[in-house]
Amino acid sequence: MCGGCAAAAARGMNNCVETARPGPGPWAGLVAVRDSKNVSGPALLFAPEAWEGFVAGLD
């Protein structure tokens, strides 16, 4: 992932994801999300609005 990553703990369940905004290129403007325990693994890409909606639905 790129700079600006932030890990968020999932309510004490030891399930964390990292999010980042990719730099210039074909994925610019999207939100990249990956499993923080698998740093070499793939990232899922979301439109910012879709990610914000998902996070809002967690509460």
What sign does the CA torsion over 15, 57, 3, 39 have? positive
> The pTM is what?
0.72
- Interacting residues of 31 by C-beta distance below 8 A, sequence separation 6+: 19, 20, 21, 45, 46, 47, 48, 51
Distance CA 51, CA 33 (A): 9
The domains of the chain are located at: 6-56
Which residue has 């914000």 as its token pair? Answer: 52
Q: Model confidence at 38, in pLDDT bands (50, 70, 90)?
A: confident
Q: Model confidence at 14, in pLDDT bands (50, 70, 90)?
A: low
Higher local confidence (pLDDT), 39 or 49:
49
Question: Average model confidence (pLDDT) for the chain?
Answer: 82
Residue 50 phi, psi dihedral angles, 5° rounding: -65, -45
